[in-house]
A and B are shown apart, each in its own frame.
Chain A
Amino acid sequence: MKINPRVSEKIAKGLIWSAALSVLAVLVGIIIFILAKGLPIINWSFLTEIPRNMGRSGGVASPIVGTLFVAAVAVVLAVPFGIGTAFYLAEYTRENAVTRIIRFSAESLAGIPSIVYGLFGFIFFVIYLDLGWSVLSGGLTLAFMILPTVIRTSEEAIRAVPDTYREVSFSLGGTKWQTIRKAVFPSAIQGITNGVILGLGRCVAETAAVILTAGTALRMPASIFSPTRTMAIHFFILAREGISMDNAYGTAALLIILIFFINVVANALVNRFVAKGR
């Protein structure tokens, strides 16, 4: 049977649209569900008090601080190395054995389940380097986990910068480094930031890799050597051990808001400082 191309076009369009719409509906549904359950729990004391009674009462101030602390350590470590590697791969070398090894490692690392990073971090940072369960162990582990993402997205963003930009800069007598800083970087920053935000989002939401490295301590972390508990771990424990479903939803809703907030702020920063004139 031969279908009229105009009909098949309509059918294809319909199917593609409904696929996209149902995915959107499920995503929005989940978010609305969690916000509906969680938002009523959130109030000033929930935000400012540390958990009491294992989290049955009190707030989530220390998990909030722990989350930001661990994620900040991870990002501060992963971003310079990740972006540096990406520029090395995209601008300073042609394909050779070294770049192939780096790329192969990065791709393999990207495919490893996070629990494996957790195990590695536990054995290497927590025990071998004797950093204990701490913000630092957690941050280091997450840094390794997001490094491949940062490298890959940054490299793609750098490669997407049109060659004409480099040509113009060189033709005006720019050196390689000036060209990278003034012509390539400003155009790649949007994509690089997206990669960093993606990595930051994964840090903030990660459980398996941090539970084994940062610990589950409820007190406020005093330094990067203190153990802590992130929000994701907090509501994981609250829910799994049946401590308080309400507080679990409250924490989850906060996490969603936090991730949303990170995205908005990062984009605003990029627009404010780098992308002006676009």
Chain B
Amino acid sequence: MDDTAREPRRDVKLKTQSVNLHYGDFHALGDITFDIPSCAITAIIGPSGCGKSTLLRIFNRMNDLIPGCRVEGGVFLNGSDIYDKDADVVALRQKVGMVFQKPNIFPMSVYDNLIIGPRHHGVKSKQALAEIAERSLTLVALWDEVKDSLHKPGLGLAVGQQQRLCIARALAVEPEVILFDESCSALDPESTMKIEELMLDLAQKYTIIIVTHNMEQAARISDMAAFMMIDGQKVGRLHEYSPTSDMFISPKDKLTEDYITGRFG
């Protein structure tokens, strides 16, 4: 494992090295090796059940919560192994935020939803929390819409607003990477468009990884595309990883082509 010692390339934010993941006896991910560039959008695509969410959740170690789940190989954030024995999971999750499929707002006020993360990390002062709330809401272009209803229930917002609130909530802990697991699949086209614009915006400063079933979305917003596929043993593998424009214009092989043109999946 001399990778830890080697200076990572400047533009690589996350890197996996021969990652294998098992859920108990089930081999879910096989030999995944790829580099994720910093300040760009990387899309993970592939048919249902090929392990996209599993791969995504490796980056913030959410798989730790699943009994019997084992990860082998190396996963590096800024060059250091996040699965190292001494790695701090809490600090990792502060750096690598996540937005889920459904907008999962807590049954609390907009404001209380926003400050959960900062509170976890010990921010106490009312003033500081209020500033964080305003800053993160501004980032997701929600401030003007909700500034007068900060103390009303978050669940009272429209679904699209709720999802933007979830993004703001993830931004409130000042992450470096944000993972989106099919975060637009529950939204109408207009809200989806707003979120896509937002992602493009955020990619100036943050490293973004999305899982999506929507090929147009991947083509529209992502810089890199990772196409996953299961092999004969149902093991999820990275079939092709290339710049999105390359993949969509000249896919490596027939399988990738068939998938991105919607012939299966």
Distance A171 CA – B117 CA, assembled complex (angstroms): 9
> Do residues B112 and A173 form an inter-chain contact, with CB atoms below 8 A?
no
A residues near B106, Cβ cutoff 8 Å: 165, 168, 183, 186-187
A-chain residues with CB within 8 Å of residue B109 when the two chains form the complex: 276-277
B100 touches A164 (CB 8 A): yes
Q: Count residues on chain A whose CB falls below 8 Å from chain B CBs.
A: 23
Choose from B62, B107, B153 the contact partner of A171 (Cβ within 8 Å): B62
Given the complex of chains A and B, what is the CA–CA distance between A224 and B71 in angstroms? 57
> Among B67, B120, B152, which residue has its beta carbon within 8 angstroms of that of A172?
B120
Q: A56–B94 Cα gap in the complex (Å)? A: 70
Instruction: Tell me whether A277 and B153 are in contact (CB under 8 A).
Output: yes
- Cβ-defined contact, A178 with B154, below 8 A: no
A 177-193 binary contact with B (CB < 8 Å = 1; else 0): 01000110011000000
Check A169 for interface membership: any CB of B closer than 8 A.
yes
Q: Is A174 an interface residue (CB 8 A)?
A: yes
- B120 contacts A94, C-beta separation under 8 Å: no
Q: Which residues of B contact A183 (CB under 8 A)?
A: 106, 116
Q: Are A169 and B116 interface neighbours, CB within 8 A?
A: yes
> In this assembly, does A2 line the interface, its C-beta being within 8 Å of a C-beta of chain B?
no
- Closest residue of chain B to A179 (Cβ to Cβ) is B120
Chain B 198-226 against A: per-residue CB contact (8 Å), 1 yes, 0 no?
00000000000000000000000000000
Q: Within the assembled complex, what's the spacing in Å between the Cα atoms of A180 and B169?
A: 18
Q: A172-B169, A187-B107, A276-B108 are in contact. Are A182 and B153 (CB under 8 A)?
A: no
Bound-state Cα–Cα, A168 to B94, Å:
12
Q: How far is the CA of A174 from the CA of B93 in the complex (A)?
A: 8
Structural contact, B153 and A278, CB atoms closer than 8 A: yes
- Tell yes or no: B90 within 8 A of A by CB: yes
CB distance from B171 to the nearest CB of A (A): 11
Chain B positions 98 through 122: 1 when the CB is less than 8 Å from some CB of chain A, otherwise 0: 1010101011110010001101110
A170 touches B93 (CB 8 A): yes
With both chains docked as a complex, state the minimum distance between the C-beta of A153 and any C-beta of chain B, in angstroms: 20
User: Within the assembled complex, what's the spacing in Å between the Cα atoms of A109 and B141?
Assistant: 56
A residues near B90, Cβ cutoff 8 Å: 173-175
Please state if B93 and A182 are interface contacts (CB–CB under 8 Å).
no
- Pairs across A and B, CB under 8 Å, 26 listed: A162-B104, A164-B104, A165-B104, A165-B106, A167-B100, A167-B104, A168-B104, A168-B106, A169-B116, A170-B65, A171-B97, A172-B116, A172-B170, A173-B92, A173-B94, A173-B121, A174-B117, A178-B119, A186-B106, A186-B108, A277-B107, A277-B151, A277-B152, A277-B153, A278-B107, A278-B155
Residues on A lying within 8 angstroms of B by beta carbon are 94, 162, 164-175, 178, 182-183, 186-187, 275-278
